[in-house]
Chain A
Amino acid sequence: DQQVKQNSPSLSVQEGRISILNCDYTNSMFDYFLWYKKYPAEGPTFLISISSIKDKNEDGRFTVFLNKSAKHLSLHIVPSQPGDSAVYFCAPLSTGNQFYFGTGTSLTVIP
């Protein structure tokens, strides 16, 4: 039962353009959502989060949008940089402090 889906396993974007990574979930009990970034041979690192009471959170080049009615969130990176090339995981947090990770999207930013 995959509660969190990232339907694009990979994405390629030109440097300077916008990267949009999408995430869909099924569990309406999720109330906090995080994005993690993972480089090869390293553990995931926290990137940005959003609470279910908001529909947008911005941090520098990174913006996360949440559409609760559609159970959909997206991460926008503008402008994209080659150092952003990594795997991005969407991770909703349940009320029991359990994370449910999406399948990940591998982003490649082309110089």
Chain B
Amino acid sequence: SAVISQKPSRDICQRGTSLTIQCQVDSQVTMMFWYRQQPGQSLTLIATANQGSEATYESGFVIDKFPISRPNLTFSTLTVSNMSPEDSSIYLCSGHQGNQETQYFGPGTRLLVL
């Protein structure tokens, strides 16, 4: 299994600013993902964080709005850029180890944009 931590756990931000969320895994994972859970909604996949290359974004999500880095097998960042109140959500990262079918999730980052 893998233990995943995220920083910050929560934040309140002003519109127009940007926030970078960090995700740290305690062991190497082959794949890392970023999800969003808006109020009353399910988890929606934003992108797959690829090590050493550009992330793969799902429909409706773009790199300019959600730039992602993954410099190594245990760390990734998601930036929420030029925030608006609609970006208020919980952002979760997850890791998948290639020989297992499960994903392990971080505790999430609660973001409120005023």
Determine whether the beta carbon of A104 is less than 8 Å from that of B42.
yes
Question: In whole angstroms, how far apart are the Cα atoms of A101 and B44 in the complex?
Answer: 7
Cβ B41 vs Cβ A103 within 8 A: yes
- Give Cα distance in the complex from A103 to B42, angstroms: 4
A: contact size bracket = 20 to 34
Stretch binding the partner chain, chosen from A13-21, A43-51, A63-71, A78-86:
A43-51
A99 interface residue (CB < 8 Å to B): yes
A77 interface residue (CB < 8 Å to B): no
User: Given A89-B43, A98-B45, A103-B41, A43–B102 Cβ distance below 8 Å?
Assistant: no
The listed residue (B4, B35, B102, B108) touching A41 by CB distance below 8 A is B108
Partner of B103, one of A4, A46, A102, A103: A46
Instruction: Answer whether A32 and B42 are a contact pair too, CB < 8 Å, given A41-B107, A41-B108, A43-B108.
Output: no
A95 within 8 A of B: no
Indicate if the CB atoms of A44 and B45 lie closer than 8 Å: no
**Contact at A42–B42, with CB atoms within 8 Å?**
no
Judge whether A97 and B96 touch: CB under 8 Å. yes
B103 to A99, Cβ gap below 8 A? yes
Closest CB in chain B relative to A10 CB, distance in Å: 12
Check A43–B41 contact: CB distance below 8 A: no
Tell me the A residues contacting B by CB distance below 8 Å.
4, 32, 34, 36, 41-46, 49, 89, 93, 97-104
Excluding A34-B101, A43-B4, A103-B41, 15 further A-B contacts by CB distance (< 8 Å) are A32-B101, A36-B105, A41-B107, A43-B105, A43-B106, A44-B43, A44-B105, A89-B42, A93-B101, A99-B43, A99-B45, A100-B45, A101-B35, A102-B42, A103-B42
Shortest 4 CB-CB contacts between residues of A and residues of B: A43-B105, A101-B43, A46-B102, A103-B42
